[in-house]
Amino acid sequence: MNNAVFQQVRGELGRIERERGVRVLYACESGSRAWGFASRDSDYDVRFLYVHPRDWYLSVEDRRDVLEVPISNDLDVSGWELRKALRLLRKSNPPLFEWLKSPIVYRHDPAFAVQFGALAGRFYSPRRCFAHYLHMAFGNWRQYLRDREQVSLKKYLYVFRPLLACRWIERDLGQVPMLFERLVEGVLEESDVRVALDELLSRKRSGVELAAAPPVEALSWFIEAELARLEALAEPDDASGDVEELNGFFRRYALEE
Protein backbone atom coordinates (compact mmCIF):
# COMPACT_ATOMS: atom_id res chain seq x y z
CA MET A 1 0.00 0.00 0.00
CA ASN A 2 1.41 3.38 -0.95
CA ASN A 3 2.45 6.04 1.53
CA ALA A 4 -0.14 8.54 0.31
CA VAL A 5 -2.96 6.24 1.48
CA PHE A 6 -1.32 5.79 4.89
CA GLN A 7 -1.05 9.56 5.28
CA GLN A 8 -4.66 10.04 4.17
CA VAL A 9 -5.92 7.47 6.70
CA ARG A 10 -3.78 8.85 9.50
CA GLY A 11 -5.02 12.35 8.71
CA GLU A 12 -8.61 11.13 8.93
CA LEU A 13 -7.94 9.43 12.27
CA GLY A 14 -6.38 12.65 13.60
CA ARG A 15 -9.44 14.61 12.48
CA ILE A 16 -11.74 12.15 14.26
CA GLU A 17 -9.71 12.51 17.47
CA ARG A 18 -9.89 16.31 17.37
CA GLU A 19 -13.56 16.60 16.43
CA ARG A 20 -14.93 13.76 18.56
CA GLY A 21 -12.67 14.18 21.58
CA VAL A 22 -11.42 10.57 21.58
CA ARG A 23 -8.07 8.79 21.49
CA VAL A 24 -7.48 6.14 18.83
CA LEU A 25 -5.65 3.16 20.34
CA TYR A 26 -5.48 0.91 17.29
CA ALA A 27 -6.44 1.24 13.62
CA CYS A 28 -6.09 -1.28 10.81
CA GLU A 29 -7.32 -2.33 7.39
CA SER A 30 -10.07 -4.91 7.24
CA GLY A 31 -11.91 -6.49 4.33
CA SER A 32 -10.52 -7.52 0.96
CA ARG A 33 -7.32 -5.45 1.12
CA ALA A 34 -6.33 -7.08 4.40
CA TRP A 35 -7.45 -10.50 3.16
CA GLY A 36 -5.17 -10.16 0.16
CA PHE A 37 -7.63 -10.27 -2.71
CA ALA A 38 -8.56 -6.64 -3.34
CA SER A 39 -9.01 -5.32 -6.83
CA ARG A 40 -7.47 -2.01 -7.83
CA ASP A 41 -10.68 -0.07 -7.15
CA SER A 42 -11.57 -1.66 -3.79
CA ASP A 43 -12.40 0.68 -0.92
CA TYR A 44 -10.11 1.03 2.09
CA ASP A 45 -12.00 -0.47 5.04
CA VAL A 46 -10.43 1.24 8.07
CA ARG A 47 -11.47 -0.06 11.50
CA PHE A 48 -10.29 1.32 14.82
CA LEU A 49 -10.60 1.05 18.60
CA TYR A 50 -10.86 4.23 20.64
CA VAL A 51 -11.33 5.54 24.17
CA HIS A 52 -13.03 8.64 25.56
CA PRO A 53 -11.74 10.82 28.41
CA ARG A 54 -12.63 9.46 31.85
CA ASP A 55 -15.61 11.74 32.52
CA TRP A 56 -17.41 10.43 29.44
CA TYR A 57 -17.81 7.11 31.27
CA LEU A 58 -19.02 8.70 34.56
CA SER A 59 -22.56 9.24 33.37
CA VAL A 60 -25.96 7.71 34.09
CA GLU A 61 -26.82 7.91 30.41
CA ASP A 62 -26.19 5.21 27.83
CA ARG A 63 -24.01 6.65 25.11
CA ARG A 64 -23.23 5.64 21.57
CA ASP A 65 -20.28 3.26 21.42
CA VAL A 66 -19.58 3.33 17.67
CA LEU A 67 -18.08 6.05 15.48
CA GLU A 68 -18.87 5.99 11.76
CA VAL A 69 -17.67 8.38 9.09
CA PRO A 70 -19.46 8.80 5.73
CA ILE A 71 -17.57 7.05 2.95
CA SER A 72 -15.37 9.52 1.09
CA ASN A 73 -12.41 9.21 -1.31
CA ASP A 74 -12.59 5.39 -1.14
CA LEU A 75 -12.23 5.47 2.68
CA ASP A 76 -14.77 3.52 4.73
CA VAL A 77 -13.88 4.39 8.33
CA SER A 78 -15.57 3.24 11.54
CA GLY A 79 -14.56 2.34 15.08
CA TRP A 80 -15.64 0.70 18.33
CA GLU A 81 -15.35 2.27 21.75
CA LEU A 82 -13.08 0.34 24.12
CA ARG A 83 -15.78 -0.98 26.46
CA LYS A 84 -17.78 -2.27 23.51
CA ALA A 85 -14.64 -3.94 22.12
CA LEU A 86 -13.93 -5.64 25.45
CA ARG A 87 -17.50 -6.91 25.71
CA LEU A 88 -17.17 -8.36 22.23
CA LEU A 89 -13.78 -9.83 23.12
CA ARG A 90 -15.44 -11.65 26.01
CA LYS A 91 -17.74 -13.24 23.41
CA SER A 92 -14.75 -14.14 21.20
CA ASN A 93 -15.94 -11.88 18.39
CA PRO A 94 -14.25 -13.05 15.14
CA PRO A 95 -14.12 -9.65 13.35
CA LEU A 96 -12.27 -8.22 16.35
CA PHE A 97 -9.74 -11.05 16.25
CA GLU A 98 -9.30 -10.39 12.54
CA TRP A 99 -8.54 -6.73 13.14
CA LEU A 100 -5.76 -7.70 15.52
CA LYS A 101 -4.29 -10.00 12.84
CA SER A 102 -4.48 -7.44 10.04
CA PRO A 103 -1.27 -7.14 7.98
CA ILE A 104 -1.99 -3.41 7.50
CA VAL A 105 -1.90 -1.34 10.70
CA TYR A 106 -2.37 2.41 10.40
CA ARG A 107 -2.01 3.39 14.04
CA HIS A 108 -1.32 1.62 17.31
CA ASP A 109 -0.43 2.37 20.90
CA PRO A 110 2.40 -0.20 21.38
CA ALA A 111 1.55 -1.12 24.99
CA PHE A 112 -2.15 -1.35 24.19
CA ALA A 113 -1.56 -3.57 21.15
CA VAL A 114 0.58 -6.03 23.13
CA GLN A 115 -1.76 -6.19 26.12
CA PHE A 116 -4.95 -6.36 24.08
CA GLY A 117 -3.45 -9.08 21.91
CA ALA A 118 -2.59 -11.11 25.00
CA LEU A 119 -6.14 -10.73 26.28
CA ALA A 120 -7.47 -11.88 22.92
CA GLY A 121 -5.44 -15.05 23.21
CA ARG A 122 -7.03 -15.87 26.56
CA PHE A 123 -10.57 -15.18 25.37
CA TYR A 124 -10.28 -16.88 21.99
CA SER A 125 -13.05 -19.49 21.75
CA PRO A 126 -12.68 -22.04 18.93
CA ARG A 127 -16.33 -23.00 19.44
CA ARG A 128 -17.73 -19.51 18.96
CA CYS A 129 -15.44 -18.64 16.07
CA PHE A 130 -16.19 -21.92 14.31
CA ALA A 131 -19.94 -21.30 14.64
CA HIS A 132 -19.54 -17.75 13.31
CA TYR A 133 -17.57 -18.76 10.23
CA LEU A 134 -19.78 -21.75 9.45
CA HIS A 135 -22.89 -19.57 9.68
CA MET A 136 -21.24 -17.01 7.39
CA ALA A 137 -20.25 -19.65 4.84
CA PHE A 138 -23.78 -21.11 4.77
CA GLY A 139 -25.35 -17.65 4.49
CA ASN A 140 -23.16 -16.48 1.62
CA TRP A 141 -23.60 -19.78 -0.19
CA ARG A 142 -27.39 -19.63 0.03
CA GLN A 143 -27.59 -15.95 -0.86
CA TYR A 144 -25.17 -15.76 -3.75
CA LEU A 145 -24.35 -19.17 -5.23
CA ARG A 146 -26.67 -22.08 -4.48
CA ASP A 147 -29.04 -23.28 -7.21
CA ARG A 148 -28.23 -20.47 -9.63
CA GLU A 149 -27.58 -20.72 -13.35
CA GLN A 150 -25.49 -17.52 -13.23
CA VAL A 151 -23.40 -16.43 -10.24
CA SER A 152 -21.16 -13.52 -9.31
CA LEU A 153 -17.80 -15.29 -9.40
CA LYS A 154 -16.18 -13.10 -6.72
CA LYS A 155 -18.75 -14.38 -4.24
CA TYR A 156 -16.92 -17.70 -4.23
CA LEU A 157 -14.14 -15.94 -2.33
CA TYR A 158 -16.61 -14.79 0.31
CA VAL A 159 -17.73 -18.37 0.86
CA PHE A 160 -14.29 -19.94 0.75
CA ARG A 161 -12.76 -17.63 3.32
CA PRO A 162 -15.10 -18.60 6.20
CA LEU A 163 -15.17 -22.20 4.98
CA LEU A 164 -11.39 -22.51 5.16
CA ALA A 165 -11.43 -20.67 8.50
CA CYS A 166 -13.56 -23.54 9.83
CA ARG A 167 -11.00 -26.04 8.59
CA TRP A 168 -8.26 -24.03 10.29
CA ILE A 169 -10.11 -24.14 13.61
CA GLU A 170 -11.00 -27.82 13.17
CA ARG A 171 -7.29 -28.64 12.82
CA ASP A 172 -6.49 -26.70 16.00
CA LEU A 173 -4.10 -24.30 14.26
CA GLY A 174 -4.89 -21.37 16.55
CA GLN A 175 -6.55 -18.07 15.73
CA VAL A 176 -7.62 -17.72 12.09
CA PRO A 177 -5.12 -15.70 10.00
CA MET A 178 -6.31 -12.60 8.16
CA LEU A 179 -4.52 -13.33 4.88
CA PHE A 180 -6.55 -15.58 2.60
CA GLU A 181 -3.37 -16.99 1.07
CA ARG A 182 -2.28 -18.36 4.46
CA LEU A 183 -5.62 -20.13 4.83
CA VAL A 184 -5.32 -21.67 1.38
CA GLU A 185 -1.73 -22.76 1.92
CA GLY A 186 -2.51 -24.12 5.36
CA VAL A 187 -5.64 -26.20 4.88
CA LEU A 188 -6.66 -26.59 1.21
CA GLU A 189 -5.07 -29.72 -0.25
CA GLU A 190 -7.54 -30.42 -3.09
CA SER A 191 -5.51 -29.56 -6.22
CA ASP A 192 -8.39 -29.04 -8.64
CA VAL A 193 -10.09 -26.68 -6.21
CA ARG A 194 -6.87 -24.71 -5.70
CA VAL A 195 -6.37 -24.31 -9.44
CA ALA A 196 -9.89 -22.91 -9.90
CA LEU A 197 -9.56 -20.68 -6.84
CA ASP A 198 -6.16 -19.36 -7.90
CA GLU A 199 -7.59 -18.38 -11.27
CA LEU A 200 -10.36 -16.34 -9.60
CA LEU A 201 -7.87 -14.68 -7.26
CA SER A 202 -5.55 -13.77 -10.11
CA ARG A 203 -8.36 -12.22 -12.12
CA LYS A 204 -9.70 -10.24 -9.16
CA ARG A 205 -6.30 -8.88 -8.15
CA SER A 206 -5.55 -7.83 -11.72
CA GLY A 207 -8.69 -5.74 -11.80
CA VAL A 208 -10.62 -7.95 -14.20
CA GLU A 209 -14.31 -7.68 -13.40
CA LEU A 210 -15.62 -11.01 -12.13
CA ALA A 211 -19.03 -10.66 -13.71
CA ALA A 212 -21.89 -13.11 -13.63
CA ALA A 213 -21.07 -16.47 -15.18
CA PRO A 214 -22.09 -20.12 -14.91
CA PRO A 215 -21.03 -21.75 -11.61
CA VAL A 216 -17.52 -23.21 -11.37
CA GLU A 217 -18.15 -26.91 -10.88
CA ALA A 218 -15.03 -27.71 -8.85
CA LEU A 219 -15.67 -24.85 -6.42
CA SER A 220 -19.40 -25.50 -6.03
CA TRP A 221 -18.90 -29.21 -5.46
CA PHE A 222 -16.27 -28.56 -2.79
CA ILE A 223 -18.44 -26.02 -0.97
CA GLU A 224 -21.47 -28.31 -0.79
CA ALA A 225 -19.43 -31.28 0.41
CA GLU A 226 -17.44 -29.26 2.93
CA LEU A 227 -20.49 -27.51 4.40
CA ALA A 228 -22.15 -30.87 5.02
CA ARG A 229 -18.98 -32.30 6.57
CA LEU A 230 -18.34 -29.33 8.85
CA GLU A 231 -21.94 -29.17 10.02
CA ALA A 232 -21.68 -32.76 11.25
CA LEU A 233 -18.55 -32.14 13.37
CA ALA A 234 -18.55 -32.06 17.16
CA GLU A 235 -18.22 -28.57 18.64
CA PRO A 236 -14.67 -27.36 19.41
CA ASP A 237 -13.58 -26.16 22.86
CA ASP A 238 -14.84 -22.96 24.46
CA ALA A 239 -12.91 -20.00 25.92
CA SER A 240 -11.69 -19.78 29.52
CA GLY A 241 -10.80 -16.10 30.10
CA ASP A 242 -11.53 -14.28 33.37
CA VAL A 243 -13.83 -11.27 33.00
CA GLU A 244 -11.95 -9.44 35.77
CA GLU A 245 -9.00 -9.20 33.38
CA LEU A 246 -11.23 -7.24 31.02
CA ASN A 247 -12.43 -4.97 33.82
CA GLY A 248 -8.89 -4.21 34.91
CA PHE A 249 -7.80 -3.52 31.35
CA PHE A 250 -10.73 -1.15 30.82
CA ARG A 251 -9.96 0.78 34.01
CA ARG A 252 -6.33 1.27 33.01
CA TYR A 253 -7.18 2.79 29.64
CA ALA A 254 -10.46 4.58 30.35
CA LEU A 255 -10.72 5.53 34.02
CA GLU A 256 -7.20 6.33 35.18
CA GLU A 257 -5.95 9.84 34.61
Average pLDDT over residues 201-209: 75
Query: What pLDDT is attached to residue 132?
Result: 96
Whether the pLDDT of residue 234 is over 90: the answer is no
What are the DSSP calls for the chain, one per residue?
--HHHHHHHHHHHHHHHHHHT-EEEEEEEESHHHHT---TT--EEEEEEEE--HHHHS-SS----EEEEEEETTEEEEEEEHHHHHHHHHTT-HHHHHHHT-S-EEEE-HHHHHHHHHHHHHH--HHHHHHHHHHHHHHHIIIIITT-SSEETTHHHHHHHHHHHHHHHHTT--SPPS-HHHHHHHH---HHHHHHHHHHHHHHHTT----EE---HHHHHHHHHHHHHHHTSPP-------HHHHHHHHIIIII--
Whether the pLDDT of residue 137 is over 90: the answer is yes
Mean pLDDT of 118-139: 94
What pLDDT, on the 0 to 100 scale, is given for residue 71?
Answer: 84
User: What pLDDT score was predicted for residue 47?
Assistant: 97
Whole-model pTM: value is 0.91
Whether the per-residue pLDDT at 256 is higher than 80: the answer is no
Q: Can you give the residue ranges of every domain in the chain?
A: 3-124+243-255, 126-231
Residue 190 has pLDDT above 90, yes or no: yes
Provide the mean pLDDT of the chain.
91
CATH number 3.30.460.10 given to 3-124+243-255:
yes
